[in-house]
Chain A
Amino acid sequence: DGGITQSPKYLFRKEGQNVTLSCEQNLNHDAMYWYRQDPGQGLRLIYYSQIVNDFQKGDIAEGYSVSREKKESFPLTVTSAQKNPTAFYLCASSMALAGAPRNEQFFGPGTRLTVL
């Protein structure tokens, strides 16, 4: 899956608990992204980061938090404030933000989160 790893593949959590999803890339990409995908739907952007120690909210950031302390890592925390967290979460990276000419994104294999 293009040098991006996500762990775990499946994650179960009880209501009211925070949980952190891991995303690591060895592609030396500057930009990283988190998406949420619900069954039969497209991807919705949660957060993105252009550079270390900087990140921006996407379309559905409420109830989520991220950090970017290292270029290779962009963990996503799903907090108890997220009302409906059960979904498939995809991490991606690219050489630069989408506006640059070569901006295809490389995706990890995803983490399926289920809230019990």
Chain B
Amino acid sequence: SQQGEEDPQALSIQEGENATMNCSYKTSINNLQWYRQNSGRGLVHLILIRSNEREKHSGRLRVTLDTSKKSSSLLITASRAADTASYFCATRAGNMLTFGGGTRLMVKP
């Protein structure tokens, strides 16, 4: 079962623009995490936001969480070509993380 659903599935922007990805989920969560995956590689943890937090920043990343709407967003500001990757949200379901289908971001130089 897929707890998180990312939107859009694919996003193409120019370098310097901001990129926003959204994640919706179905059940109550303890926390929500965002991961990045470069093509053919493993995932890298970006940021974790707890259910009692509404916003969190890390460098050019900004994550928001709205538990009433069961949704989260990841904003990448001033994007770079090196940000090209797939981005996944993950939520706790029981004792495990459950990953969404991902947003494939392409940043054109």
Binding site for B on A (CB under 8 A): 1-2, 4, 6, 33, 35, 40-45, 48, 58-59, 88, 90, 92, 97-99, 101, 103-110, 112
Known: A42-B2, A97-B95, A98-B92. A104 touches B48 (CB 8 A): yes
Complexed CA–CA distance, A73 and B45 (Å): 21
In this complex, how many residues of chain B approach chain A with their Cβ under 8 Å: the count is: 26
Within 8 A of A (CB), among B53-74: none
Is chain A's interface secondary structure helix, strand, loop, or mixed overall?
loop
> Judging by beta carbons under 8 Å apart, are B100 and A104 in contact?
no
Q: B residues bordering A, Cβ < 8 Å? A: 1-2, 4, 30-31, 33, 40-45, 48, 50, 88, 92, 94-102, 104
Closest Cβ of chain A: how far from B89's Cβ, in Å? 9
A-B contact pairs, 25 of them (CB 8 A): A35-B99, A40-B101, A41-B101, A42-B2, A42-B88, A42-B99, A43-B88, A58-B96, A59-B1, A88-B40, A90-B42, A97-B95, A98-B92, A98-B96, A99-B92, A99-B95, A103-B97, A104-B33, A104-B45, A104-B48, A105-B43, A105-B45, A107-B44, A109-B42, A112-B40
